[in-house]
Structure 1
Amino acid sequence: MIHKVHKRYFLCSHANWNAQVDVQEWRNNMCGIVGYVGRRDCADVLINALTKLEYRGYDSAGIAVFENNAIRVEKSKGRLQNLVDKMKIDGKPQGHVGIGHTRWATHGEPSDINSHPHGNKRVTIVHNGIIENYKQIKDFLIKEGYSFVSETDTETVAKLLDYYYNGNPIETIARVIAEIKGSYALGIMFRDYPDAIFAVRKECPLIAGVGEGENFIASDVPAILQYTRNYYLLEQNEIAIVKEDSIKICDIHGMEINKELQTADWDEDAAEKGGYEHFMLKEIHEQPTAVRTTITPRIVNGMPDFASDGIDINKLSSYRQIFIVACGTAMHAGMVGKYVIEKMARVSVTVDIASEFRYRDPLITDKDLVIVISQSGETADTLAVLKLAKEMKAATLAVVNVKGSSIAREADHVIYTHAGPEISVASTKAYMVQVAVMYLIAFALSRETGHITDAQCAEFTEKLKNIPAVIEEAIGLKDRCQFAASKLLNAESLLYIGRGLDYALSMEGSLKLKEISYIHSESYAAGELKHGTISLITEGMPVIAVATQKSIVEKTISNIKEVKARGAMVILVCGKDIEVEDNVADIIIRLPEADEVLMPMVAAVPLQLIAYYTAVLKGCDVDKPRNLAKSVTVE
């Protein structure tokens, strides 16, 4: 019996397990899954829903629909449109119950065979996540007479469901999830239940959408907004039974669970491009509104106020030190937070990459505060850090965009940003609102610790309230940014440089460029150039310099002159009142006026636009850069 195999192999010690895992399997992954039960044409609903989730993966797409008492599967390598074109030839599945998937490949190359859904005549599934012990399961099932056609971990789950199937889907699902290790969101169809789909999750996000005479499952809310704004959030290992007129959610013992119905506070139009060529450009333009929406509820009587978030700023100021932990763009927002909190509040702040923090045995105690930042609230490494911090009795505060997400539910306190849906893989407005929250925290801490007066705090807060208008003005620099981008098309490599807050911002600018234009780009503290990096400068090599901090601008200009003297083509992003000699830079982008402490929010805009227009001019797929997914829900 597989239960014996489970005891022998699957419940091995963590150390032994690590020894058995193929390290190539530990790759970041995110797919999108949907399901529908209702009276509409199921294939059409699934395809429409998947168009809203294709940002989660675009290596393949597929659907499975109950048709003539059988489960019919259609799937295809590549973009969703390939599947649509294939069904024009094969014929579209006809039915009213089905599941769908868009894939970001991990186990097995992108191919028709490795595409989801997977299964057999009795059970068919779609899956987001990684099954860590799939090799052991697969070996067992092969001995039991099962054969496999794909290289995926997902097929093992489908076959394991079939192996255990006893006519009772809930019992079967419960047995399977007791065996599998890893992260998953599963949409499941049993041939014996042609009027229902089943769903279960662990770590990976999944919702059950509530319609009128129809119901859904989906990885993300935008998939179902065309049909409903109401949904249930599935918790870990809760099982949903979705039928046309009901959604039942139960635990692994089959006991029904009463859930609170959630309502999305943004509509379908918010998840569409709104006339812009790309989601990224739309989201850049949405930044003033997003910042305004995020900060306004947290400014009371002209002062930062987190009472509505249930946060006592006095308690927040009492911790020995603050750790800000995040990944990618969110980590860069944390870097800005570090500079501002330390400078203004004189509180020690350590910023760390989540994937490094959790493995370096960090020195955190119950006297420390750990702030985690994540747009999705599902980032696997960040979630793991949060759990580690709680185990070590540290206080935890999450800054997230998605309500009810895993990180939001785990943290002691949550500050929700109000960016709305961010579809483009390259984050812009989520970064901007994260930075805005960092400023509010910095101002509140500075006032509470007595490092600024009430009058000064009110002044800084008022300037932050006005920053959306300045961001709007910065967006007006797009023509100048497009011209700068045109000079980068033939570059094989370039550098971003800055000091202090400008260095933190340069890190984000560099990431934006590389992730959507595929040009190799690195960010360096300008003062480090002479310690090795300047040897990389060759004739015509682009260097993008940021200089907004008046107290150190002369030193930054000196560094710019050093690279210029060695043949670099310099693009300088600087404040309007920064004095620059004519020969210092080839292109100068002058920013609208703002307090220099807030300049990262202003200077971020032209860096986003330079990255955007460079990718567009190169013909890259801006919203769906290769090898990347929107949020990383497994390690």
Structure 2
Amino acid sequence: MEGLSRLEYRGYDSAGIALMVPRGRVSLRSAVGKLSALRAKLAEEPVSGCLGIGHTRWATHGSATEANAHPHRTRNVTLVHNGIIENYAELREELEAAGVVFASDTDTEVTAQLLESLLPTSQTLDDAFTRLLARIVGSYALAVLFEGYPDLIFAARHGSLLAIGYGRVADDGTSEMFLGSDALALAPFTDRVSYLEDGDWAIIRPDRVRIFDKSGAEVTREIVTVPVEIWSVDKGPFRHFMLKEIHDQPQSLARLLAALIDTHALTLKPFLPGLDFRDIDKITLVACGTAHYPTFPKWRAVPQVACRLT
């Protein structure tokens, strides 16, 4: 819940969590509206465990209802998903023809039901998961629990960000691992993070993680220490996060430019191999969200801006 609360700035209309309880069973709690509604439900129906996933959803497929809230569960699979599965309609039609009955309108439940359908004909969970990734088209960050497996989470990313957090090892040898669509969500627990690359998938256990690239080869991703200042998600004096983002734009632009400009040589740092800006006479910037509402009143708020380089 603390991790989800640090992602409230993104906007959402429902939230839910799933925890692995004793005997390897998954228990689900979800609610429509703010996280306070989910907190109230958890106060009425407490649940505890050492393995869990959570999600705040912004409706894309289906309205904001408890049935459409993540996580989504089938008999053996429980998962959360950021992104959009572009071929969900085709997959849903295929699954319904095979007798699958859906409980929601979401593309995410289609993903869960497809993975469930692959389990009986797969030799291992790894096999079922990679077959799933080969079938779905679109952008996704996935976190998956399997009924009866109380010590692992499967994860994958394509287009959507996904970070793995490396937690503490206690004196008794117990350890912890974390997974988040934004490193901000991991801030209360660890500052040691590795980022999955596009096409990566991973098996996460309390004491270790195995990462594979899209070819299936096991790989190592660098563990970095995230600076403390990155962790601040306080609204400060502003009424909401959107207003804070608008006022943060000058600092955000300054940080971006500082990473791209060599202030001593007054030149651009090399960041795209083979790109020479002298060969380019126009750049089109496409933006959305708070970029449409600039801090400075003299700026024109337009979705596309063309500027000539001199």
TM-score range (shorter-chain normalised) is 0.7 to 0.9
How is 1:171-320 mapped onto 2 (pairs within 5 angstroms)? 171-212=127-168, 213-251=175-213, 254-267=216-229, 269-274=231-236, 276-280=238-242, 282-283=244-245, 286=248, 289-290=251-252, 293=255, 298=261, 300-301=263-264, 304-307=266-269, 309=270, 315-317=276-278, 319-320=279-280
Q: Which has the higher helix share?
A: 1
| Partner of residue 529, structure 1 | none
| Partner of residue 65, structure 2 | 111
- 1:426 lines up with 2:290 in the alignment: yes
| Partner of residue 152, structure 1 | 106
How far apart, in 1, do the equivalents of 2:133 and 2:219 lie?
A: 18
Q: Deviation per CA, 1:452-505: give whole Å up to 9, x if none.
A: xxxxxxxxxxxxxxxxxxx9xxxxxxxxxxxxxxxxxxxxxxxx9xxxxx5xx1
Q: 1:125 to 1:315 in 2, by over 3 A?
A: closer
Which amino acid counterpart does residue 258 of structure 1 have in structure 2? T
What number of residue pairs does the alignment pair up?
Answer: 293
RMSD between aligned residues:
2.9
Give the SS at the match of 2:70.
coil
Q: 2:12 aligns with which of 47, 58, 72?
A: 58
- Aligned identity (percent) is 35
Structure 1 unaligned segments of length 5 or more: list them: 1-46, 329-424, 433-470, 472-495, 497-501, 512-635
* 1:86 to partner: Cα distance: 1.1
Q: 2:85 aligns with which of 120, 131, 135?
A: 131
Q: 1:283 to 1:182 in 2, by over 3 A?
A: closer
Q: 1:72 aligns with which of 27, 43, 51?
A: 27
Q: 1:266 to 1:280 in 2, by over 3 A?
A: farther
- 1:322 lines up with 2:282 in the alignment: yes
How far apart, in 2, do the equivalents of 1:217 and 1:304 lie?
A: 39
Structure 2 unaligned segments of length 5 or more: list them: 169-174, 304-310
Q: 1:181 to 1:315 in 2, by over 3 A?
A: closer
* 1:131 to partner: Cα distance: 1.4
* 1:288 to partner: Cα distance: 5.9
How far apart, in 1, do the equivalents of 2:137 and 2:257 lie?
A: 41
Q: 1:122 aligns with which of 70, 76, 82?
A: 76
* Cα pair 1:71 1:121 within 8 Å, conserved: no
Normalised to the residue count of structure 1, the TM-score between the two structures is: 0.43
| Partner of residue 94, structure 2 | 140
- 1:100 lines up with 2:60 in the alignment: no
Which amino acid counterpart does residue 426 of structure 1 have in structure 2? T
* 1:282 to partner: Cα distance: 4.5
* 1:60 to partner: Cα distance: 0.5
How far apart, in 1, do the equivalents of 2:250 and 2:9 lie?
A: 24
How far apart, in 2, do the equivalents of 1:81 and 1:116 lie?
A: 16
Which amino acid counterpart does residue 290 of structure 2 have in structure 1? A
Normalised to the residue count of structure 2, the TM-score between the two structures is: 0.83
- 1:506 lines up with 2:300 in the alignment: yes
